Structure 1
Amino acid sequence: MTAAAPCVLVIDDEAQIRKFLDIGLRAEGYEVVLAANAEEGLAKAATRSPDLVILDIGLPDREGHEVLKELRQWTQVPVLMLSVRDAESEKVRALDAGANDYVTKPFGIQELMARLRALLRNRPGEPEPAAQRYDDGRLAIDLARREVHLDGEALPLTRKEYAVLAMLLRHAGRVVTQQQLLREIWGPTHVQDTHYLRIVLGKLRQKLGDDPAEPRWLKTEPGVGYRFLAG
């Protein structure tokens, strides 16, 4: 059996750069996930578990430095920063904050590929993140196997129910906004369709036997989103 192709997440607001990298990376055999802003990029980093992230510093909604800082709170995935800023201080700031490499625009695709191969080759072995598996004696979730058990019995979930539960678990203990969930699971044209989310959360709670008034696992943050209670 051949190993799965490494997954590269590209977070860049320039459509031409995204297209250029998408074509170049796929030609080299990589799986590619694209994001046009910080919020979308963080959501995809959480749900797609990429093997490497290419992160632009100048994003429209948040600085790439802030995105890097947030990523480093929960993952050590290799991050290669892209920027038109070539000042040494910018590079030092990014590397000190946890970036693994830094490339200035414009760049050659072959040089970029060589840097990616080096980052993937030199990536230290990491234990599987705790958020990939959860088991409190009652509820057991294994994201690698896509399995959910309640009191030892397999819990039948729809694709949307599982996707919502998985995304909340990957952000365990932190609020995931309604817009993040809708954008990632239903798509960017559905970010206002909060009723979809309420219906799925209601059914998910029903299957889990989780009382929204006294939640064991799924807590509503009114007007904001939801949180998986892992404690």
Structure 2
Amino acid sequence: MADYKILSRETLARNLEAVIQRIEAARIKVDEHHIVKMVVVSKYTAIENIATLYDLGQRAFGENQVQQLEERVHALEDLPLEWHMIGRLQKNKINKLIDLDPFLLQSLDSLDLAEALDKRLEAKEKRMECLLQINSAREESKAGVAPEAAVDVYREIKERFSRIDLRGVMTIGAHTDDKATVRKSFETTRRIFDELQSEGAEICSMGMSGDFELAIECGSNMVRIGSALFAE
């Protein structure tokens, strides 16, 4: 594992409080009853920093790679952490992910992956809660289903794959400094989420350190925050 810097409790407490205040301000602008959950993206930080954030009250953490998730789940197994898999899942890592029993797979990005996952879940007599990843920015570098196909894909996964419990949708905002383009990608996903609420969708995971306030403004109720928490 990479040699990540251990930050002081004071630094992490200050950063956590600053991010929470920003989330609160953005949330209240939408509606004082709008609840937003933060998942800390811990891929670029030391295990000790995760433990400190837990001690400061944070419970949900996300990893981009199954191997790193495995290392951290085992290293911190004494803490009741809520682990999210948020990166692209390769089929050859499905069995390992199932064994790690994450709280949520946020990056279910195709029918093909859903089929492979469902088969392995059935073989292991397990279930998994997932979000459908939508490529709302239509960027070739990003995984996810096309926006116009998302509702149909969501419904098909629900109908065909009994071991997968879909809880909502996830997207990564457009990779650009143009705020209007980023907003459009979030609004596209929000419209899909709204349509899928009748199918039981509860989670709209949008927004990272650079754009989470805009994402919340567009209706996100789950944000994935990394670098904003780990700056010195």
Q: Would you say same fold, with TM above 0.5?
A: no
Please identify the structure whose Cα radius of gyration is greater: 1
TM-score by length of structure 1 reads 0.31
